[in-house]
Amino acid sequence: MGFRDHRLLIFDGACGTNLQMMNLPESVWDGNKGCNEYLNLSAPDKIVQLHRSFVEAGAMVLETNTFGASKIVLGEYGLENRVEEINTAAVENARKAIGDKKNVYIAGSVGPGTKLASLGHISIEALTEALRQQIQVLVQAGVDAIILETCQDLLQAKTAVITCVEILEQLGRDIPILLSVTMEQQGTMLLGTDMAAVAATMEPFPLFSLGLNCATGPADMESHVRYLSHYWPGRISCIPNQGLPEIIDGQTVYPLTPQVFADYMRQFIEKLGVSIVGGCCGTTAEHIHCLSETVASLTPAAREVIA
């Protein structure tokens, strides 16, 4: 049984917020504090520990700790020459966490970077080059899928998809491409694109799934998921935050309990046909455990897609 064969895929939870809760010593950062991807090299045991906690919680897919591991983001720390090293180590850390457990997969995480092409922060050529380098390393390191996530700019998302398709063709590899966009609380992507425009733009490409992650909790994602349920022919993913963050006593707190989080996802599966679920910012191993216990036996609802 392969990645594509599962009627329902359960992804892991947050990376960054869980690493923050580990209270790692200053020494592991080597002057690169804030670059979570560097920890693949300096504290691999901690990354393996985090991944393993999600495997034990019931996650079927681990995302590599590579969200910001393109030369665009790594360059902000002077690490632009270590893209191959960091991405390869990240895949190895995920593989160690899985061990000999069956039906657990590795998705190579590719984030949006820190520069928006539509606003002229970066040229399409430079963006493509950075994406090509990172995706190629992840594929060659043996990931089971690529997830292009937290896409805030439709031009960036389309560039990432085209680049990924081209690389897989060049390498002769056939692995799923998942695209996950971020819809802000006002109901559009950061630059104003709505879900209808996203779906129409992405329809010609061979995506395994289209969905949402980050920015909001599941409640604010419902209308977008409902649209995809009616108009997107492929699989749908939903990987929300643990609700909208609140500042309490100077600390960022995410409000949803594991069971409330899981109940939202159950409804998306049973009523809207979502078949890929997981957690973004704030979600812990406890959230993923509750999610797995709640939804693992469910079959996503059949959908009538309007052509």
Under a CB-based contact definition with an 8 Å cutoff, are residues 256 and 243 in contact? yes
Task: Judge whether 295 lies within some domain.
Answer: no
CATH, residue 91: 3.20.20.330
Q: What is the mean pLDDT of residues 268-286?
A: 97
**pLDDT band, very low/low/confident/very high, at 28 (cuts 50, 70, 90):** very high
**pLDDT band, very low/low/confident/very high, at 296 (cuts 50, 70, 90):** very high
| Residue 253 or 48, more confident | 48
Torsion of CA 246, 60, 292, 244, to 10 degrees: 10
Task: Judge whether 177 lies within some domain.
Answer: yes
Please tell me whether the overall predicted TM-score, pTM, comes out greater than 0.95 for this model.
yes
Task: Judge whether 265 lies within some domain.
Answer: no
Task: Judge whether 300 lies within some domain.
Answer: no
13, pLDDT greater than 90: yes
Percent of the chain having pLDDT more than 90?
A: 93
| CA-to-CA dists, residue 275 to 19, 187, 303, angstroms | 27, 22, 11
193, pLDDT greater than 80: yes
Task: Provide the residue type at 192 as one letter.
Answer: G
249, pLDDT greater than 90: no
Number of domains the chain is built from: 1
The per-residue pLDDT of the chain, averaged, comes to 96
Q: What is the mean pLDDT of residues 256-260?
A: 95
Query: Residue 254: its pLDDT value, please?
Result: 85
Give every CB contact of residue 131 below 8 A, 6+ residues apart in sequence: 70, 110, 159, 160, 163, 164
Task: Judge whether 52 lies within some domain.
Answer: yes
Best mean pLDDT range from 19-33, 160-174, 242-256: 160-174
Of residues 239, 225, 233, the one with CA closest to residue 200: 233
**pLDDT of 152-175, one tens digit each?**
999 999 999 999 999 999 999 999
**pLDDT band, very low/low/confident/very high, at 253 (cuts 50, 70, 90):** confident
Other beta carbons less than 10 A from residue 149's beta carbon:
26
Query: Residue 268: its pLDDT value, please?
Result: 98
Query: Residue 84: its pLDDT value, please?
Result: 98
Structural domain boundaries, residue 105: 3-214
Q: Read off the tokens for 234.
A: 């492929």
Task: Judge whether 290 lies within some domain.
Answer: no
Q: What is the mean pLDDT of residues 183-212?
A: 96
228, pLDDT greater than 90: yes
248, pLDDT greater than 90: no
The DSSP bridge pattern shows strands 61-63 and 105-110 to be parallel
Long-range Cβ pairs for the range 198-202 (8 Å, 24+):
198/154, 198/157, 199/227, 199/228, 199/231, 199/232, 201/154, 201/157, 201/158, 202/157, 202/158, 202/161
| CA-to-CA dists, residue 37 to 43, 46, 90, 179, angstroms | 10, 12, 8, 21
Task: Judge whether 77 lies within some domain.
Answer: yes
Placement of tokens 């969200």 in the chain? 67
**pLDDT band, very low/low/confident/very high, at 307 (cuts 50, 70, 90):** confident
Task: Judge whether 240 lies within some domain.
Answer: no
Query: Residue 61: its pLDDT value, please?
Result: 98
Query: Residue 80: its pLDDT value, please?
Result: 97
**pLDDT of 120-131, one tens digit each?**
999 999 999 999
252, pLDDT greater than 80: no
**pLDDT of 75-102, one tens digit each?**
999 999 999 999 999 999 999 999 999 9
